[in-house]
Structure 1
Amino acid sequence: MLWKCKSWKGRWLCVLLMVIVLPILAAQKIGDPYKILGIHRRASLPEIRKAYRQLAKEWHPDKNEDPNAESRFVEIKQAYELLLDTERRQAYDLYGITNEDDHMYKQRHDYSQYARFSNDPFDYFGTHFRTQDQDITLFHKLSITARHFENNILEKSVHTPALVLFYTDWCFDCVRSATAWRRLVEALQPLGVTLATVHAGHEANLARRIGVHGVPCLTLILDKQVYLYKESLSSLPKILDFIRWKFPYKQISHLTDRNVDVFVSDFEDNKVKALIFEERQVIRLRYLITAFHYRDRVSFAFVDISAQNTQKVTARYKIQRSMDTMVLLKEDSVEPAATVSTTEIPSQTLRQLIEANQMLTLPRLSSQSVLDSVCPVEWRAARRRLCCVLVARERAHAQSLAQLRALARRAPERLKYAYVYAHAQPDFVDALANGSGIDISTLEHRIVVIWRREATRIQYEWLNETWPTCSQCRPDELEEGAARGEEAVRYHERLNETKRALEQLVKRLLKPNEVVAYETRVKELVDEAVKGPLWRAVWRLCEWAERALSALRTQHALSALSVLATVALVLAAGYFMAYLIRVEEESVQRQKEERRRQNGTKRNNNDQQSEMRLHELRAEKYNGLVRLLKPGCRTIVLLVDGQSRVQLLSKFHKIVWPYRKNKTLLFAYLCVDRHVEWFRRVLQLSLGGGELRVNARNCVGTVLALNPHRKYFCIYHAKHPECAKPHKRMSRMTVSLGGRAADPEAGAFIGFTTDPDSSDDDRYDPPLLLQENLLDGLGNWLDRLFEGSTHRYYVNYWPDMTTK
């Protein structure tokens, strides 16, 4: 069935449907969010937020006159919302889904319906169960999702610590810890700590990623690091000690009368100084949390009023002993910038006081956050905010900064003063020089007036006069009303002229219709407080060492010392036992040498030390050397008789001496005149059961390499084919022994048996060998044995060895 739109009503209906359907389809598909924001696929949440802020300011319809600015702004916002949601971002990375249909995603758990019956007057459950239900409902009221955890808790932990408890339903341990959790919330929430709970059953991926192995599990999130608390929740002091231990080490300096002057006079770190006075040895947790929150702006120090070495600094700032006091200090300030004193200073009061005094009078542009605070972005010309920046070198002249600081104290609301080090921020200074065409070498002690219209685009204008300095002037000549020399008079004249020129320039640029001379784009400022990886590693090692030393002075010192003492005792006992064994060995060696000298015999250099034992293979040792030997081990056996025993064993000992340290080898000898029947039985089993007539005298000098586990052996004899091979008679000798094997070497034990039926022409006469030459080729044969190139003779079982 075809729908033909020939009438004018049909055409208008088609147009109406297209107008309705196309925007819906376009709204459901927003394109690639990574390309829209201009970021890579592995971008972190801070990078996503940064890209969104820049693009949103650039394409905001109120700022951008492009006709497509509104649609572009909506597209940027949709892409940002998609990537900010971890589940939607994962769905897009895996399946390319960009719309927000409910059927595309799993149903998220609704935490708003918890505790809906907690105030029910008709609750028919007992009082015991209702109390437990009211306790555990606190878990449900504070429950958060994985997205909230990643986007808020984790990101804000850079300045605000958080405690997150993982729990589940029908968890009796969770019910028992509900009261402790309530006390923890009441104690830490007023101090500025974020407390939340996560249902481990509903947010299983988050619990698995963090490493939660059981519930209830308390975690501390601090500076984007997650720390698991592995003890019981019943002890509140232990939890507070755990939190205190995880804060950055030496975040708060301890001041005494010796180091107070160094601390309050060093403002090179570009931070306001805050002194906390308490009549106790350890700073309160509320002040520690506040110091962590403002550590980028304020440098905190702690003063113990009760100590004997802090009397001068306490009298210097007129501190009352029964009060907690916080004093804020700025540079070149005789009086404190702010002071608060009470029994326990509330966290809210601390934050309000620090917020109002968190910047120095003349701050240095040492990071992007300082630039945003001193010179905020203002795109409207009628409300433009200016920032006068002095370009200086490191350790700039104190007199120049002091004069500029005096102007900063009298500056109007829309004008701020600051300075920047040219060597520390080269990209920023180069952008200002290139945008105005000024030689960068002439920028020292020049003042630039900046107006930030956008985050990366600024308009600026240089002060024509260079800020004057006087290196030959004495400090007393720079004060107002003091007697001055000729050089100091000229310096003050130039300084007054420069101040007037700067005031005229600022007054002109504050007018809404005034055009600023230059414009350029700048990169983000380098954070001068960030240390390199090597320095961070050294600092971490020093921190661990100092933490260990400080722990020895606390209540944990006894347990730590006991562990160290135990380890030292074990090491000392081991060393003492080794020393006794070494002394005993030396004593035995001295006794042997003494007996040898008394007997008048010289030590033979050819006699080897008794580091290797040669076992006699007999019935008593047969199981240990053959049958019960471990897999992978072999026994090397030399066949001797009573006449050749001493001579052959001495030579055999020398040949196998290099292999003495091989743990898989055992060395033995067999008296063939007593156990020739066992040897004949082994040969018979390897040849398939044929009859053999073995001459015991001809077996002397034979070496067997037995592999008991694999049930095979390799054989060495000076007349064996593997050692001296008469290849042309090999097959005849095999036939004469009754062998039918395909290997011509199988069973060819020369001299072990004779065949009376063979003719004299076919009989092989072996060369004559002396007894001392029987083992001449054993070294080469051992090399081939360990290479695996010798022939293997397999047996079904190892025959018994009888005792005669």
Structure 2
Amino acid sequence: MRFLACLFLVLSFILGVYSKLRDPYAILSLSKQADSQEIKKAYKKLAKEWHPDKNESPEAEAKFIEINQAYELLMDPERRRLFDATGQTEDQPNFRKQHDYSSFRRFDPFEGMFSSFSGGFRFNFKQGDGSNIFQKQSITFKAYQNSIVALSKKQPYLLLFYSDWCLACAHIEPIWRRLYEELDPINFGMATIHAGREVELARKLGVKTVPYLIMLLDGHPYHYTEASVSMVSSIDFIRGKFPHKLVQRVTEENLESFLSGWLDNKVRVLIFGTLDIIRLRYLTVGWEFRERAVIGYVQMNRADTDSIRTRYSVANKVDTLLVFHEDMHTPVASVAMTDLPYATMKDIIEGNKFLVLPRLSSQSVFDALCPVESVRSRRRLCVVLVTQDDPTHDPSRAALRDYAINDQARDRDRVRYAYLFREKQVEFMNALTAASGSPIETNHHIVILWRKDQNHLKYEWLDGGWEVEPEKHNTSREALRAAVQRLLHSNQPMPYETVIQELFDEHAQGIIWRIINKLVSFQDYLRENVTQDDLVPAVSILVTVVFIIAGGYVMSYLVKLEEDRASKGNDTYVDTTGRVRPQPQLKVHELRGETYNGLIRMLKPGCRTIVMLCDSESKSKLMPKFHKACWPYRKNKTLMFAFLNIERASAMEWYKRILVLGLPEPRDLNINPKNTIGTVVALNGHRKYYCLYHAKHPESVFGPSASATAATAETEGLRRRPVRSGISGDFMGFSDNETESDSDIEAGDERKDSVASDKPLLNYYSNILFEDQLLEGLSNWMDRLFEGTTFRYHINYWPDWPGK
């Protein structure tokens, strides 16, 4: 009877709750024409207002249930259609329909009640009281972005997504408590996230259900994919996500290479233990100090590690930690305990995380070794040796290292010793050598630095450099000691001051490694988040896209084959071996700003570009003659052909600039563009010179038989016109005489070019030419161009294209 009474009470409560479900449109304050977006917006607003955790009203729980019921009805098209037609709201529970109560976006009104049966029908809709560990450790999206991601670079983080009304979350709460008790002492960060309140963060991390476990390392999330959560599976998941060689296993075979690897600017740490697995605390300390230390693990109960334990006198009943700097034979710090606490290991490594003579390899190292000290009376000095990444500089570094070992005992807090590679820290060295008193050759020199603030520092160069020869070394040591003591114990100002930029990070990954890491991370994300149901449509879409692209490529290839087949009769020739080969074509490009670099500035050695000057009107007349003269050289792969439209202001300005650069003395030029028509320029981009052809150019006047023609003229008593210098003006298109330069070459009378005429030279030197006569001597000039007998106008550089 007691059972029946209890059952009656439960059913009465359920029916009481559901009987409150009125018109869902009225509950959400919506019209019957509301779409899904309006329904969602109204639901979020009311759910936030009446959520039991945020509203202390006694009616909050019932109101919250009613809001969820109305939302579910209106978001279900079938149920909404039924309500609109009949007014039925399905007040009775629909046990045939299986709701996904594992999702934090759904609400299960029965979960809270039936989960309370074991507690005597208390009907508690809240998931615990103020002592709930999920609520204590809960963080927001803003806290995740601003704090957790940055902290995960040094401290691993374990994140758990939960929600209210989640029975599975309550089941793993004891496991989470145990994880917290085990991981918190070894520097493991742990936080929980309410998936219902932080929907954007859940979406960003790919969380689809609750509870959901994620491990965060250096801002990268790793997803827990097991079906159930337990202590063993959670620890295995955490251990497997650390980098493979974060803590290396060390035996007799690799001990020497491990300890001698300090040239990477990191100290070496050996941890001796008896377990065959590497403890999590060793992994977390390795993660925190991975930028400054390399950690190795020696398992003491193995035969191949006995000599290591004997070598460093390590007891076999306690765990031991040894820290090594440059000397692999003697550790600089050690600690032995039955169970090494994380805090102890951290303190030991933190106090010895820099070598005796570390390298300034990044800004973080520079800030740690040479911190800012603005008070002159409390200067903190940084003694830096300038070297190169060269074995021949090892003696200099070794000498300063020996000096630092003896000197650090006295002034370790205020003086640090370091070195740098000059070829790696170029900008830093440029700032130090900007002063007039800096040494010309800075290798093997010491500079003493004092940082006033983050970007400003004062410095002083050690006189005489850092000598390592036995007869000079003592002098260098005494000079360094005197300079350091003088700067520490007096207010004497340092002679130089400069502004520095951030140091180059020598340990930063290159672009290739960053791409590889991104690909690996993307692969991990796909493996952990993409199911087979998601993969099939994605593969289908990818195959479709590839098929379309391949089809387009095949079609374009077939069109190209058809075009080649149509023109094959004119584009082939038979070579001396009888093979049919494609006929070389003569392509004439236009020289302008877009093609300037390719046609001239970036020419390979031995290559030249032949450029003809014309305008729109003369192009149709001159281009066939230019094409005909250049056609015999179409097979020459060292030649390119182009034309320059002088009607473009930028083209005319560029032509004027190269003429000025070719003159022995710069002077102002008055150029008539009409006088430049028909000029041909051969430009050698690599050797920076050009050759000129023009009908009035002296080289065009005297062809292959120039000397014979001149002799004939003299014997006939004809007075020869003086030959103009190779850099005279009018053949280039300009003249000192403005009247002459303004003449139009197209307005002249007929030119006679027969040497057998009565006055061949006088007619040949006439200032009057027609357009169809401008390129008559181009073929002969091209022959002399390849013979090397044309005049070369050398310039210092190719000017920039105007307006580019």
Q: What TM-score range do you get, normalising by the shorter chain?
A: 0.3 to 0.5
Larger radius of gyration: 1
In the superposition, the TM-score normalised over structure 1's length comes to 0.48
In the superposition, the TM-score normalised over structure 2's length comes to 0.48
